[in-house]
Amino acid sequence: MLSITGAAMLPGGFVWLWWQGVPALYRTAGSGPDAGNVRLNAVTTTRAALLAGFVGLGALGTFWLNSRVYRITARTFELTERGHLTDRYTKAIEQLGNDNLDVRLGGIYALEQIAHDSRRDRDQATIVEVLSAFVRVHSRALEQKSASRLEPASSEQAKQRLKDDVQQDELEPPVDVQAAVTVLGRLPVRSGVQRADLTRTNLTRVNLVKANLSGARLGEADLTGAFLDGANLSGANLLQAKLTRAFLAQADLTGAHLYGVDLTLARLHKANLPKVIRQGARLHLANLTGANLTNARLGELGAMFWGPADLTEADLDGVDLTGADLDGVNLTRAGLYRADLTGAKHLTQEQVDNAYGDEFTQLPVGLRPPKRWER
């Protein structure tokens, strides 16, 4: 109120200064015959300066007023936008609970659009939680495997188990579950916002090619036969996850938690698994052709290579294979530069001859490096 009153008084004050105040300042100025001209010039100069100052003050006032209007407009727009997003979110949540598949799919994609439209990390975090819960609830129930099926066996017994499992795991995920997981894998990357929490979820044969699941929680999830080629699983929690027959070509597993993970028959062609320091992972019949296992400490994985795993052309630079069972493992053209195999079990001279190494490669007692390693 005071600012409005002050603004209304400014023009009146300016008029008074213009006609009365300025001449009063120079009423006694000057002497002699040119005193009148001197006072007139002084009054004219002062009025010009006063006018310039008033114009500048008016410009500042206009700028302040415009900025205030802009802030009010922006705030109003933000509140309106938040209201629209809230309405859209509420409607999308209602759609997720609908019995009609098409309506549920609409709700899933509506949440994805909201995540893109909203600039707030908290909104996306909420959407991730909602979609993760949707997948956990609507995915097929996990089948319990008997403890005997998780123990090592002969190659023929293992193959029969795998054959039985293939018949059980042929079903693909429900359409809406696949859609929700796909959305989770392509949401915007925002620091501090978790990608997904799919712990103990049945994701058999799910398609997540090139999905971004960095840091996602996938502990004890069943990803049997999942398509994860080119997926970003760096830092993901795969504690005791099942990745039997999973397609992981060129996948990034840097820093992933692989304790107890089952990679039996998994395709890991050119996958990135550097610095793997986890226990209990199983790679029976796994294909790691061209995989990057630089500085991995595979010996800590226990009976990791139970069965003839394929490490053809794998990059094992600096790998620690102390305690690893390499019986039947294919090391053709695998890079064993600076690798430590001194405590590896069942490593043969033929396997060594088929691999590449250098003078820094450490071999078990009784095995010798090929002459070509000395080049």
pLDDT bucket at 171, cuts 50 / 70 / 90: confident
On whether residue 22 sits in a domain, the answer given is yes
φ, ψ for residue 113, nearest 5 deg: -65, -35
Q: How far apart are CA 84 and CA 88, in angstroms?
A: 6
Task: Give me the chain's average pLDDT, please.
Answer: 79
Average the pLDDT over 181-206 and give the result: 95
Residue 262, sorted as left (phi over 0), alpha (psi -120 to 50) or beta, turns out to be beta
Take residue 259 and report the two structure tokens written for it. 């304790």
Looking up tokens 């005193």 gives 35
Of the candidates 272, 324, 311, the residue with the CA atom closest to the CA atom of residue 295: 272
In a domain, 131, yes or no: no
CA distances from 315 to 96, 200, 287, 320, 372 (A): 45, 32, 13, 12, 18
Given a cut of 70, whether residue 275 has pLDDT beyond it is no
In three-state form (DSSP H/G/I as H, E/B as E, the rest C), the secondary structure along 292-327 is ECCCCCHHHHCCCCCCCCECCCCECCCCECCCCECC
Residue 219 domain-assigned? no
Q: How confident is the model at residue 115 (pLDDT cuts 50, 70, 90)?
A: very high
- Domain for residue 48, yes or no? yes
**Band of residue 152 on the pLDDT scale cut at 50, 70, 90:** very low
Is the per-residue pLDDT at 349 higher than 90?
yes
**C-alpha torsion sign, points 119, 195, 142, 109:** positive
pLDDT tens digit sequence for 292-305:
666 665 655 544 55
For residues 219 and 146, which has the higher predicted lDDT (pLDDT)? 219
Decide if 189 contacts 215 (C-beta within 8 A). no
Helix (H, G, I), strand (E, B) or coil at 282: strand
Q: What sign for the dihedral angle of Cα 112, 114, 117, 123?
A: negative
Evaluate if residue 88 carries a pLDDT over 70: yes
Per-residue confidence (pLDDT) for residue 345, from 0 to 100: 85
Q: What is the per-residue pLDDT for 97?
A: 93
**Count of domains forming the chain:** 1
Q: How confident is the model at residue 30 (pLDDT cuts 50, 70, 90)?
A: low
Average pLDDT over residues 278-284: 60
Q: What is the pLDDT of residues 246-258, one digit of tens each?
A: 999 889 998 888 8
Which has more confidence, 160 or 352? 352
Q: Is the dihedral of CA 182, 188, 190, 193 positive or negative?
A: negative
The answer to whether residue 21 is domain-embedded is: yes
Q: Distance between CA atoms of 343 and 320, rounded to whole angstroms?
A: 9
Tell me whether residue 144 is in a domain: no
Q: What is the pLDDT of residue 167?
A: 52
Output the pLDDT for position 101.
96
Query: Residue 168: CB partners within 8 Å, gap ≥ 6?
Result: 143
List the domain range (segments joined by +) for residue 34: 2-96
Q: With bands split at pLDDT 50, 70 and 90, how would you rate the model's confidence at 7?
A: low
- Please give the pLDDT value at position 81: 63
Taking the C-alpha atoms of residue 356 and residue 332, their distance in angstroms, rounded to an integer, is 8
For residue 253, being part of any structural domain is answered with no
What's the whole-number mean pLDDT along residues 268-274? 76
Q: Is residue 231 part of a domain?
A: no
